[in-house]
A and B are shown apart, each in its own frame.
Chain A
Amino acid sequence: MSDKVKVAYFDFTCCEGCQIEMTNFGDAAFLELLNHVEVVEFREAMSEKTTERINIAFIEGSFSREADRARLEEIRERSDIVIAYGACACTGGINALKNHQNDYHEEVYGKDAKMPHLDSQIALPVSAAIKVDYNINGCPMDKDEFIRVVSHLVHGKQPVIPNHPVCVECKLRETVCRYDQGDHCLGMVARAGCGAPCPADGIPCEACRGFIDHPNEESLVKVLMEKGGLSRERAETRSRMFTANCRADAPEKIVSPNK
């Protein structure tokens, strides 16, 4: 019987890209990590399943069907630590873009719009159904952050999940601000941890990790209009791609698991 930390991966409403990202870690990271953890369930990489006790459960994907609640509760029940990883699990991610719309069934599926499996609720983070201990944010989640969180837990330490905005990480790497380039950006309200690669490549931050705990949305709209040159309507909806459940107009307010 192994005394390694037992980990399992589960997926809900998502593209499974974060699981793929995990296998993309390659020998250096993923196989090395396997010396310290035992994977007992991981649909993307192995066929075995488990019904046993799990030390760390990694959950990918948003909670978008009431029918999934029982499965989530069952995972919670037999796991010591539950980690939501990837934007969909942490905030609802891009799935939550549908939350303010109701005409997408016909738009997307045409004559198949009434198929029973398409009957879903609004897309919510995993934390809307069960208690989540930690979030590993990002679309997709980041290798270094994943290893940092797992390492801390293997050593019995509490990992620190960033609650500072992306501006911090742009400053640390001395990126010229998008606003100094006549562009706009969501970095002031976006949760960091990614290392701010997008503004460094010359594109605005889209807040794929959701908002920091207390984003100043009113000021964001003002800056997007005054400095970013966006119309009021565009400024007010600009942050929605990844933050539909974080915004003040969200149907159900997210409780950050890191508090």
Chain B
Amino acid sequence: MNAFFIKEADFTQFLGNMIGARKVIGPKARKNRFVFDQIRKPEDLRLDYDVTILPPKKVFFPPRQELIRFHGQKGSSCIQPESTVLFGVHFYDIKAIDMTDHLFRENNMDFNYLAQRECTTLIGSNVQNIFKRAFFGSVGKGVAPKGHDGFTTKISGGYLYEVYTAKGKDLLAYGTFIEATEEQINEAREVNDSVMDKCPEKINHDSLEISEKVRSKFNSPVWEEFAHDCFSCGSCNLVCPTCYCFDVQDNWNVDQVTGSRDRTWDGCLLEDFSSCSLTGGSKENFRETRGSRYRHRIMRKTSYLTAKLGGPACVGCGRCSSSCTADIADPVNVINRLMEE
């Protein structure tokens, strides 16, 4: 392993050098929450964040993205990747990025996502503060975070920086790093292990067991019961680090000749998500009730994708639970309830 140490006092200079040389995106404060955004001053980087409103997938898969710009019948690609360092990503979001990497790579490769993903250096950081709705310690325990280029852990006197790839190694040039000692490596491991059982919420069963049991509960009245207060607002989808659905629409500029084909994040909790055009101008919505939409999300997170991803499509960040104004989205409550039935 390539493990290095940088003193607390040198860390600010390291950040300053890196920001001066590269585009750096990291956690920043926004009112009483946090967001991933471009870091322009070292003091803007808030590695003590608990969770961000939107997950870092937005760096590769923006909420709104032009896919093609057109002029009359001619179209041109909008793919313009920009070398970026995505710094300070918690391990659960690294797991989620690994899933979206897989999903955007399979079948028809999504170059709009992959081009930006490939020129991004992904650096993790340890969880210093645990979000009030987090349950990452008890979900998908068999799935290890991977696909990142390096990982920083705050330890006594400074930060341990573990390097996994050449892209991760490149960052060493921006700071005064020394080889880490065995004790420092062990301390970092302990720091990262210790947060796992400190989450305020906990799923009580193994993900494979959950996958089978939840799937068997397709006709349970639980779905309508939990969805009774649902606003169908899609917030649980939109803040989810593993959701990847989008809608595509063409838009003309006012000149009526030029325009763009745009994609926007979509969510299966929204009423029109499953609305389809049929012949003769009629429409059919195959998930018309709140309960059926609510069930679909939980099925996607617990069961439908597990074979493909090797684990649940949920990383326990707690974003859906906290963004749900009606407070019915928390997977912990519905999964634990179904498992006990």
Contacts and interface: CB of A to CB of B under 8 A. Distances in A.
Interface residues of A, number: 42
Contact of A176 (B31, B252, B256): B31
A155 B64 contact: no
19 contacts: A32-B254, A33-B254, A164-B270, A164-B272, A165-B234, A168-B234, A171-B54, A171-B235, A171-B238, A173-B63, A174-B53, A176-B53, A180-B31, A181-B32, A187-B233, A212-B232, A216-B232, A219-B229, A223-B229
A208 to B, nearest CB: 17
Interface of B: 30-33, 35, 53-54, 63-64, 228-235, 238-239, 249-256, 259, 264-265, 267, 270-272, 290, 322-323, 325-326
Given A172-B238, A176-B30, A181-B31, A188 B231 contact: yes
A167 B238 CA distance: 10
Contacts of A223: 229, 325-326
Interface of A: 28-29, 32-33, 35-36, 147-148, 151-152, 154-155, 157, 160, 163-165, 167-168, 171-174, 176-177, 179-181, 187-189, 212-216, 218-220, 222-223, 227
A220 B252 CA distance: 36
Contacts of B33: 176, 180
Given A157-B250, A171-B63, 20 more contacts: A29-B254, A32-B255, A148-B251, A151-B251, A164-B271, A167-B233, A167-B235, A168-B238, A168-B267, A171-B238, A176-B31, A176-B53, A180-B31, A180-B32, A187-B233, A188-B231, A188-B325, A216-B290, A216-B326, A223-B326
Contacts of A215: 231
Contacts of A188: 231, 233, 325-326
B32 A165 contact: no
Complex A-B, nearest 10 residue pairs according to Cβ-Cβ distance, in ascending order = A171-B238, A167-B233, A188-B231, A151-B252, A219-B229, A172-B63, A176-B31, A32-B254, A165-B233, A164-B270
Contacts of A151: 251-254, 256, 259
A163 B271 contact: yes
A186 to B, nearest CB: 11
A189 B231 contact: yes
A193 B271 CA distance: 15
A164 B231 contact: no
